Structure 1
Amino acid sequence: MIEITNVSKSYGDTCVVDAVSLSIPAGGITSIIGPNGAGKSTLLSMISRLLPMSSGKVSVDGLDVTHTPSDVLAKRLAILRQDNHLSARLTVRDLVGFGRYPHSKGRPTLEDKAKIEEALDYLSLQPLAGRFLDEVSGGQRQRAFVAMILCQDTDYVLLDEPLNNLDMKHAADMMKLMRRACDELGKTVVMVLHDINFASWYSDRIIAMCDGRIVRDGPPAELMTPEAMQAIYGIDMSVQEVGGKRLGVYYG
């Protein structure tokens, strides 16, 4: 379980995340939505210790992220950031192998090599494994980064806007992959999303933020209402039920 207790982040006099408290139980997909500047990515970065908190506490399965050694935390929690570009010329297999560093410390064992191949297989990347990252498409590159995160073999996976720069098909494929990782591998996925329909279709829980605070929290059916969309985004939206899921249509 991820426990977030009174977590805040300020830059000078500007409060970006304001005393957020949450419990995220193990299992399933939790999506964090909200308008630009709501504090979503900042909160995710503090959970993963990429960004220091101004106040508050975050623990992962009882481990305080502020004080837990990096090599211990990296075996429990992995994060894929928005800016996941690399200047080094690496093959897809090289990149995926980085996920084993917390375990191998740069000296991969036979088990580490097997985990790399498993991750490549799981994301159907074996045909591309020997190609350089600048020789594959954006969607394929994003899958390679996700394979690296899964190869890290953590219980918790944090994704910051993983659908950025992906077209509709590749975005849907990415969400299906994360759903499979939860259902088949027992992962707990927490992601920041802008597309509320993808959040509604694939998530078990949606947390909505606005002005650094949580304004809605619950299963998709509870958040996908015209009233909730008005409260979160200040927009008029109709909601339709398709295949047992609620999807929104923005109209002004």
Structure 2
Amino acid sequence: MITLNEVQKDYSDSVQIGPVTTEIESGGITALVGPNGAGKSTILTMMGRLLDLDHGTIEVAGHDVVKTPSRTIAKILSVLRQENHFVTRLTVRQLVGFGRFPHSGGRLTLGDEKYISEAIDFLDLTDLEHRYLDQLSGGQRQRAYVAMVLAQQTDYVLLDEPLNNLDMQHAVQMMKQLRRAADDLGRTIVIVLHDINFAAHYSDRIMAMKNGQVIKHGTPEEIMQNQVLSEIFNTDITVIEGPSGPLAVYY
């Protein structure tokens, strides 16, 4: 479980995220949704200890992310940021290998190589594993970064907008692979998404944010309501029944 207690980030006297107090259950996929500037990425990066908290505490599987040693946290929690500055002369396999650093310290064993291969196969990158990153499309690079965090073999995986740079077909493929990682590998995945319909279709829980606050946290069925979505996104939204579940239609 991930527990946030009075978590707050102060950017200025007039701009702050939080305080947020909530719990994210273990297992499955929890999607963070909301309009731009709602605080989704800020909350996620504080969970991943990539951004300092100004107030409050965050615990992941009972470990305080601020006080727990980095090497310990890195074996529990992996995180993929929205901005990734890649080294062009790295191959896909070399990049994915960085996910094993908390375990290997940079000296890869046969066991590490096995996990690297499994992550590459899982993201359908086998034919690309010896390609350099600058030879890939944006979507292929994005999949390589997700493979890297899966290779870290952590129970908790935090992903900040992993559908960036992906067209519709590859976005669907990515969400199916993340769904499989949650179901088949037992990972707890927390993901920032812009598309409420992707969140509703693939996640188990949705945490909706607005103006730095969590205003609704529940199942897709609880969130996919006309009034709830209209309040979150400040526009008229109608939920209709689509062929595979509820769909939000914007007006």
Q: Same fold (TM over 0.5)?
A: yes
- Tell me how far apart the structure 1 counterparts of residues 141 and 219 of structure 2 sit (CA, whole Å): 31
Residue 57 of structure 2 aligns to a residue in which SS? Answer: strand
Percent identical: 56
Look up the match of 2:188: 188
Q: Which whole-Å deviations, capped at 9, do the CAs of 1:74-128 have from their partners, x for residues lacking one?
A: 0000001100131341000000000000000001111111111111111121111
Q: Where do 1:36-115 residues align within 5 Å?
A: 36-115=36-115
- Tell me how far apart the structure 1 counterparts of residues 16 and 169 of structure 2 sit (CA, whole Å): 33
Residue 35 of structure 2 aligns to a residue in which SS? Answer: coil
Q: Which whole-Å deviations, capped at 9, do the CAs of 1:116-173 have from their partners, x for residues lacking one?
A: 1111111121111110011112221111111100000000000001111211111111
Matched, 1:199 2:207: no
Q: 2:27, 2:182 within 8 Å by CA — same for their partners in 1? A: yes
TM-score normalised by structure 2 residue count: 0.97
**What is the letter of the counterpart of residue 72 of structure 1?**
T
TM-score normalised by structure 1 residue count: 0.97
Residue 206 of structure 2 aligns to a residue in which SS? Answer: strand
Residue 83 of structure 1 aligns to a residue in which SS? Answer: coil
List alignment gaps of at least 5 residues for structure 2. none
Q: 2:142, 2:165 within 8 Å by CA — same for their partners in 1? A: no
Q: Per-residue deviation at 1:14?
A: 3.1
Regions of 4+ moved over 6 Å: none
Look up the match of 2:160: 160
Q: Which whole-Å deviations, capped at 9, do the CAs of 1:10-30 have from their partners, x for residues lacking one?
A: 023134312101111110000
Q: 1:221, 1:245 within 8 Å by CA — same for their partners in 2? A: no
Q: Which whole-Å deviations, capped at 9, do the CAs of 1:182-236 have from their partners, x for residues lacking one?
A: 0000000001110011001001000110111011111111111110111101111
Matched, 1:120 2:120: yes
Of residues 134-143 and 177-186 in structure 1, the stretch that sits farther from structure 2 once superposed is 134-143
Of residues 137-146 and 99-108 in structure 1, the stretch that sits farther from structure 2 once superposed is 137-146
Look up the match of 1:228: 228
Matched, 1:30 2:30: yes
Q: 1:32, 1:193 within 8 Å by CA — same for their partners in 2? A: yes
Root-mean-square deviation over aligned CA pairs: 1.0
List alignment gaps of at least 5 residues for structure 1. none
- CA 1:244–1:125: 2 relative to 1, 3 Å: closer
Q: 1:8, 1:15 within 8 Å by CA — same for their partners in 2? A: no
Aligned length: 251
Q: 2:88, 2:134 within 8 Å by CA — same for their partners in 1? A: no
- Tell me how far apart the structure 1 counterparts of residues 151 and 14 of structure 2 sit (CA, whole Å): 38
Q: 1:76, 1:155 within 8 Å by CA — same for their partners in 2? A: yes
- Tell me how far apart the structure 1 counterparts of residues 62 and 131 of structure 2 sit (CA, whole Å): 40
